[in-house]
Amino acid sequence: MADGTEIQKQKWIVAAILIYFLGILSGNLAIKTLSIFVMSLVLWIFVSIDWPSLITLLALGLSFGFGKTFTGAFGNSTVAFLLFTFVLVYPLSKTNFIRRCTVAFTTNRIATKGPWYFVAFLFAAVTFMGLFISPSVLFVAFMPFLEDICNVLGIRKGGKVGNMLMMGTAMLISLSSGMTAIGHVWPTLAIGFYNSATGKDITQFQYMCFGIPIGITLAIILFAVFRFIYIKKDEIFVPDNINCINIDNAQKLKGMIPKADVKEKIILIVMGIVVALWVVPSLIKGVFPEVYKVINGYTTAMPPLLGCIILFFFTDNEGKRILDFKEVTQKGILWGAILMTGTATWLGSCLTNEEVGISAWLTDKLSPIASGMPVFGMVLFFMIWAILETNFSSNIVTTTVVSTVALSVLTALPEGSVSVGAVLAMIGFAAAICNMTPAGQSTINTVAIGSGWTDTKSMFVWGGVFAVAAILVLTFIGYPWASAIIGG
């Protein structure tokens, strides 16, 4: 139950929103703006100075346009998108959703048919959750449960099966961070660079239509590598034989997870609304073009902003807000990524600015080489560069450097000769193939290696195999697919 103070604050929030709606009904922009000002004062004085400011942002965006609002408040909508998405996803990681989702995947009738079925569904679970949860957050939250799973199934530390599960989990969580741009920095950066340089946009729906199928293809290839190359060659060694897994014990995992409470259900419903606002407009574009135009004009940052406001507004059974502002700003937001994204986006704009001249110089030097290459040759070049660099340096740095050069070179080619949007989306995806060295994805790779379940050599060798597969799939399957979906 909410205490008297919280109930009073809820009343003030409702009163403040009513003031705003009265201003809207006037139809006068000046009165509407004044109503936003009065609403903000009421919220700041009687509720709080922190999260209620998001309500002001939402009102300003509805009145003056979200593009202008986010640019005025944060410098660009890309930073706003990442910030709100980090905040939105954080409370989900604090629930039992990750464990519940994993159990649902791994204890169904098909998953318990045999060890390899179980492994396939375990990998599918982490890949699915990684579509909308930050890779570092997901991996750190999933690690303890993975160890519980291994203990329940009798999988020993130091064996090949445990090594495979840890490597597969690390690689697939990293991979999933390239499959969507929901809370994932590198795809968001690449899309932002493309938008800044060309004025065109890649929608969340377009990116997912490209990223998810390609990611599933790579996940299947990784599973096949483990199934037919990694494990099979040493099956004669009983301690490492995957058939020794006690699959019947998987049902014990169900007893380790409590039922979903109201808080978790509210979080999932709100996330569903946010995803729907990203995806549905593209589905109704041909039927309701005006509705598509309005919602698409909100930018990708508006849906998570709305979701954050809803979660801040609601309270749990104990009367506490589902989202705690102080906690989420300290633990849920990757401020380093936010700062670097803002800086990198502006740096990319400066590097590609015609007045600076760097773009013209790169074009002059590289265009003769690029023009003499077939399209797949250029795509292959950028995929090799992106995946090689991301395994030895920051994903964000990789996306920034490769995207900037790609834009400079590809936009100088005759229009229609190459799909610039497709290549930029692929660079954002490629930055997620990063598990060969600890430097590639520092949080995931270092924690995985330090856990004792895998080692540096295994990650380098099998991460390298996965990287080669990704280069080939992205170049010869990903590019034609992305070109058909994204164009540009």
Domain around 192: 91-262+333-486
Q: Where are the beta strands (DSSP E) in 43-181?
A: none
Q: Could you tell me if residue 147 is inside a domain? A: yes
Q: Which residues pair with 43 in a beta bridge?
A: none
Q: Could you tell me if residue 321 is inside a domain? A: no
* Non-local CB neighbours of 31 within 8 Å, separated by 6+ positions: 23
DSSP helix/strand/coil, 316: coil
What confidence score (pLDDT) does residue 237 get? 42
Q: Could you tell me if residue 238 is inside a domain? A: yes
What confidence score (pLDDT) does residue 236 get? 42
Distance from the Cα of residue 218 to its chain's centroid: 17
Its sign, for the CA torsion 319, 321, 322, 325, is negative
Q: Could you tell me if residue 479 is inside a domain? A: yes
* Non-local CB neighbours of 120 within 8 Å, separated by 6+ positions: 111, 223
Q: Could you tell me if residue 299 is inside a domain? A: no
- Residues 422 and 207: beta-carbon distance below 8 Å: no
Instruction: Enter the tokens of residue 429.
Output: 């995806």
Q: Could you tell me if residue 398 is inside a domain? A: yes
Say if residue 456 is exposed, middle or buried (CB neighbours under 10 Å; 0-12, 13-18, 19+). middle
Backbone angles phi, psi at 321, to 5 degrees: -65, 140
Q: Could you tell me if residue 317 is inside a domain? A: no
- Residues 307 and 84: beta-carbon distance below 8 Å: yes
Amino acid in position 488: G
Q: Could you tell me if residue 60 is inside a domain? A: no
Return per-residue pLDDT of the chain as tens, 488 residues.
456 677 788 889 999 999 999 998 888 889 999 999 999 999 999 998 889 999 999 999 998 889 889 888 888 787 888 889 888 888 888 888 888 898 889 888 898 888 899 999 999 999 999 998 888 888 888 888 888 888 888 888 888 889 999 999 999 999 999 999 887 889 988 998 898 888 888 888 899 999 999 999 999 999 999 999 887 654 444 445 677 677 777 777 777 777 888 888 899 899 889 888 888 887 787 788 888 788 878 888 899 999 999 999 888 777 778 888 888 888 888 787 787 677 766 776 676 666 777 666 766 666 666 666 788 888 999 999 999 999 988 888 889 889 988 888 888 777 778 899 999 999 999 999 999 988 777 778 888 888 889 999 999 999 999 999 999 999 999 999 999 999 76
What is the total count of domains within the chain?
Answer: 1
Model pTM score: 0.81
